[in-house]
Chain A
């Protein structure tokens, strides 16, 4: 298994500002992912965070809005840029292990006013 932490756990932000969410894993992992969970909805994959190269974004998500960094095999950040109330969601990072299972962080609950 893997222990995953996220910072911050929650935040309340003003419209038009940006927030950077950090994800830290206790072991080196090849694949890390970022998901969004809007209120009352299921999880939607935003992107795969690639170490040493640009993230791979899913349809409907763009780098300008959700820039992602992956400086090493244990850490990644997701920035939510120029926020609007529609960005209010839980943002989760996850890691894929060699056991072919995926583990999720506790999530960051974001409210945009």
Chain B
């Protein structure tokens, strides 16, 4: 599975958009980009995933560059409850294994 690179930490002001970048320059054509987050002491929570088109759901938007070598997760109006570690993961879609390989993620601190 392709490796991802994320900044170690980021700050965001409450109410502003949080833009979390992820580099995945070795991504293959059949690999999806997944985002999870882990709020302190809880199990990881699925946020969103996509292949090449931009995706949006009730939690966030996912913007994938045309060459698919990088992506950005956007939380449109960050709240204090969005403070968490955010993981960008690349893996084949409809994979027979289904397993996720976690990197170190980005610690997002939302400040009042």
B residues within 8 A CB of A44?
102
CB–CB A48/B102 < 8 A: no
Query: Which among A61-69, A71-79, A97-105 touches the partner chain?
Result: A97-105
Contact present for A104 and B45 (CB under 8 Å): yes
The size class of the interface chain B forms with chain A is 20 to 34
Q: Is A43 within 8 A of B102, CB to CB?
A: yes
Q: Which residues of B41-57 are within 8 A (CB) of A? A: 41-46, 49
Tell me the bound Cα distance from A100 to B50 in angstroms.
11
Main SS of chain B's interface residues? loop
Assign chain A's interface to a size class: 20 to 34
The residue from A4, A94, A100 contacting B93, defined by CB atoms under 8 A apart: A100
Give the residues in chain B near A109, CB-CB below 8 Å: 41
Dominant secondary structure at the A interface: strand
Q: CB distance B42 to A96 under 8 Å?
A: no
Give, as a whole number of angstroms, the nearest-CB distance from A25 to chain B: 13
Contact B100 A45 (CB under 8 A): yes
State whether B87 touches A42 (Cβ < 8 A): yes
B101 near A45 (CB under 8 angstroms)? yes
Residues of B within 8 A of A (CB): 32, 34, 41-46, 49, 87, 93-94, 97-105
* 21 pairs, A vs B, C-beta closer than 8 Å: A33-B99, A33-B100, A42-B87, A42-B102, A42-B103, A42-B105, A43-B44, A43-B100, A44-B102, A45-B100, A45-B101, A48-B98, A48-B99, A94-B100, A100-B49, A100-B94, A102-B100, A104-B44, A106-B42, A107-B42, A107-B43
Q: With contacts A42-B87, A100-B94, A102-B100 known, what are 17 further pairs, Cβ within 8 A?
A: A31-B98, A33-B99, A33-B100, A35-B102, A42-B102, A42-B104, A42-B105, A48-B97, A48-B98, A94-B100, A96-B98, A100-B49, A100-B93, A101-B46, A102-B98, A104-B45, A105-B43
**Lowest 5 CB-CB distances: which A-B pairs, in order?**
A104-B43, A96-B98, A43-B102, A31-B98, A42-B102
